[in-house]
Structure 1
Amino acid sequence: MTSSGMNMMSKITFYEDRNFQGRSYECMSDCPDMSSYLNRCHSCRVERGCFMVYDRTNFMGNQYFLRRGEYSDYMSMMGMSDCIKSCRMIPMHRGSYRIRIYEREQFQGQMHELMEDCENVMERFSMSNFMSCNVMEGHWLMYEQPHFRGRMMYMRPGEYRSFMSMGMSSMRFMSMRRIMDSSVNVDNPQCSMGFYVMLLGQAVFTMGPSACQMTSSGMNMMSKITFYEDRNFQGRSYECMSDCPDMSSYLNRCHSCRVERGCFMVYDRTNFMGNQYFLRRGEYSDYMSMMGMSDCIKSCRMIPMHRGSYRIRIYEREQFQGQMHELMEDCENVMERFSMSNFMSCNVMEGHWLMYEQPHFRGRMMYMRPGEYRSFMSMGMSSMRFMSMRRIMDSCY
């Protein structure tokens, strides 16, 4: 990966305590449950890119927009009543913006199409509210009050047929704003950037006189997978460049896909649960028959490219107890190498790994990204034991 490509990767670091103290966790993509890595989360530092943070798991609850900067105690800064429980990375978008808003659910009633910010839906369209929308291009923030104030909701490309069914029955949206490239600091000292600070109930927005341009090398490094409802890349499609905990938000079903860049894990249950499969660049015209899947893809996780060392500690028993071994390379057979018939917890210290149920990288697999995994049983892996493991290397991309 070129240095320009590295600079484009979004990165946020969470800390257990205020003022960047305590254990930390670095994140470069979506994280549906922070408790997998930290007991609590009270401060963070956004080094690159933009993120939405949520006070409930699985991207639910109150949400807040964060751009590059330090948040030493965001509970008091933003009026949060609880610490961060999940986060979503907002990919940089370098194209046009287009959204259709509908007066009623299921794309019914009065419809209006926008390609720019809207400070007041009521004044502009004589609509007191809208109940569904189709985000056709770009990433948007919806606000509860006019002039970009009040609680907010992040909308990425896709169809949102019913805000009520998405748990937004208590909210109505009165203004909306595009998440522009100028909101993302790309570490280019020649860029004249503004700042974008979101607080509960207010927004301060300043734009610099020039916007940063993403280099072609940076664009090429962004992971991308396209899902199709039917086999052989037919039917409706959905493009994804990060994690997606529930494909049903975008497609009724999913039977084929095309990985254009990067690597992904796909799952046959929502929220990254169930059987999972590793996909690298290529075409999968009917992966249910190709991989022996009994159900179509329900969720997917993007695997960030890693350009450093690899290190993992495996433990014989839960809670990091019993025999321990540290690895920095692939292991074809845990039993032969360490005389361990199984291991029940692990600490992924560096890099991204695939665990396999059988020796020599065979059988069902499990994706492990950096973090502490204190009990495989509590993670729903009680029926599996891991007998080999492999690093996800740059060559996979």
Structure 2
Amino acid sequence: WILYEKPNFEGPSIPLEEGELELTDIWGAGTSEEQSDCKSQKPAVIGSIRHVIKANQMIMVIFIFQDYRVCRIDLYTEPEGLGIVTSFFDDTEETGVFGTTQKTCSIKVHWGIWLLYEEPGFQGVPLMLEPGEYPNLLFWERKEAYIRSMRPLKMGGRKVEFSGEPKVIVYEKPFFEGRHVEIESEIFMLDDKESEDKTRLPLASVGSMKVLGGVWVAYEKPGFEGHQYLLEEGAYREWTDWGGYDEEVQSLRPIVGDFTSSHMIMYSEKDFGSKGSNINVLGIISDLKDTGYGLRTQSINVLSGVWVAYENPEFTGEQYILAKGLYPSIEAWGGKNCKISSVQPIVMDIVGSERGKVKVQLFSEPEFKGNCQIFEKNTRCIDSFAVKSSKILDGSCIVYDQEEFAGNQYVLEEGIYPDLIAMGCSPQAVLKSLRIINIELSEPCIALFEKMGFQGKKIEFSTEILNLQFLGYNPRIASVQVLGGIWIIYEHSNYRGRQMLLTPNEIPDWYKASGFCQIGSLRPLLQ
């Protein structure tokens, strides 16, 4: 984004990259001593705002919201693009060689928004230049300049804010006109005829979209085939906004995954072969050629997170969306060849968001139908309706079948629960109260004792146990110590029966606290 002091994009300007900025004396007008003594600063006056949108590398007439094309600027020692030319492609803290800086009399910006500084290390007030040819420096009110450092503005990475609330409005025509349908799950194909099949979209075409939540992938062909287009949260007025090769979008689906951590292993051979090379990837790589791994990738193991792989360097060209799982060949991710030149993860956007704030949706009918109520704090009595399904959009909670957080407990982690059985309840259960589960940062560890008061044989676990008796332990437990983490205790094996949530604490009499004398299975709560 670019802020201008005056309307119509005139006057001094300030470029804004992704992040936060304190708007204090942004035009350098200075403040008097009287003003500086005041606790409240005078608001900044902004005349106009412009969104930097640039053309896609593959189809020059296409305009997209995210542009990762390689930036380039040429500095000439003579006017009109004559003399010695020096090209720059990225951040340059010092342009001088052996202490001398070459003069600049004309400039050509091939790509990118560049900030030019007359001091090294990006110091001083920058001059901002957009793509174009500058045959002289009259715009800078000088004949020549000595540019000591420079850098292009960088686009932010791929982000998602409402990962647990996938929702998109699809319009039949561009610019959000014509018939429209709101969807929250995958669409296998378009079908202009009315159908009860929820995987068919009752539209003849897709002209524009508004992604209200989550990350989505649009596909050129039905059945999730053809070119892939990543859709972040935002508005897409027409097919050029999502970087399409043409107007065709025939299927659509949300990406489900953990966006808090990212790790994958790329292999140069099929089926994760050990004969070739491989590379562990934990973050953004703009050009895999620079890593020594190479550009040939024939299999990928995504251990965590969701990734976008690109055919060309600097996040351009054909793109492939990779969720957690095994991809033994290029066909598994829809590739047409084995070339992958750059990769980047999709991360959770926590700047300015309410990440970490628990949000629970309860519905009065199964399959998320009927009345809906949203809960973000402890509720001693749910008396508005009978709960039949739920969505936990962030965090975790416990629901109880009695008021005041009493009775049987049912732990609900982030996810969707279309009916009471999916929530771990009986079909006749009536949920009456709800408690939010706070985050516990300690490492999971729990000790179980065969006698009360932490006496007798002790068994200690730090990971989930599906069947305590199957491992050779006596399931009759008399006392419990939670040494770290949050644990869910189940009366029977395979996470069945009554549940009880435990935070770090000591329970000298397990039967008195829980009401059941045995522990069949247990696991730490995912946070």
TM-score (norm 2): 0.31
Structure of larger gyration radius:
2
TM-score (norm 1): 0.40
Larger RCO: 1 or 2 (CA < 8 Å, sep 6+): 1
